[in-house]
């Protein structure tokens, strides 16, 4: 092998080594970026689970409050009916026969 061939081989080898270094650097960067994205995705998933849990608790509270409102409306209606009945009884007793 001539000196010129040896020089060309060395240059090619150096170029390949540089390309490998660049590829390794890019690979490390991509792995780091992937790790950051996975971490952000996990954080988002955790937040979503928390928000979902809070939404379910709020829905349960709203349902319970709606039931209480319905019971109060029923109680109000019963109270109004009793009041009307009592007023009717009082009016009947006030009338002379």
pLDDT at 92: 82
Q: How many helices (H) and strands (E) does the chain have?
A: 1, 0
How far is Cα of residue 9 from the mean position of the Cα atoms in its chain? 59
Range with the lowest mean pLDDT among 1-5, 27-31, 32-36, 90-94? 1-5
Report the range of poorest mean pLDDT among 3-17, 36-50, 67-81: 3-17
Nearest-angstrom CA–CA distance, 81 and 85:
6
Residue 29's pLDDT is what?
98
What pLDDT band is residue 96 in, cutting at 50, 70 and 90? low
**Structure-derived torsion over alpha carbons of residues 42, 44, 50, 53, reported in degrees to the nearest 10:** -100
Angle of CA points 47, 49, 50, to nearest 5°: 65
């Amino acid at each position: 092998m001539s000196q010129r061939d040896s020089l060309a081989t060395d240059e090619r080898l150096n170029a390949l080594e540089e390309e490998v270094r660049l590829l390794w650097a890019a690979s490390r960067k991509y792995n780091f970026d992937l790790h950051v994205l996975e971490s952000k995705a996990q954080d988002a998933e955790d937040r979503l689970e928390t928000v979902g849990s809070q939404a379910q608790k709020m829905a349960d509270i709203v349902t319970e409050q709606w039931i209480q409102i319905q019971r109060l409306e029923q109680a109000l209606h019963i109270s109004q009916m009793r009041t009307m009945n009592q007023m009717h009884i009082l009016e009947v007793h006030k009338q002379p026969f």
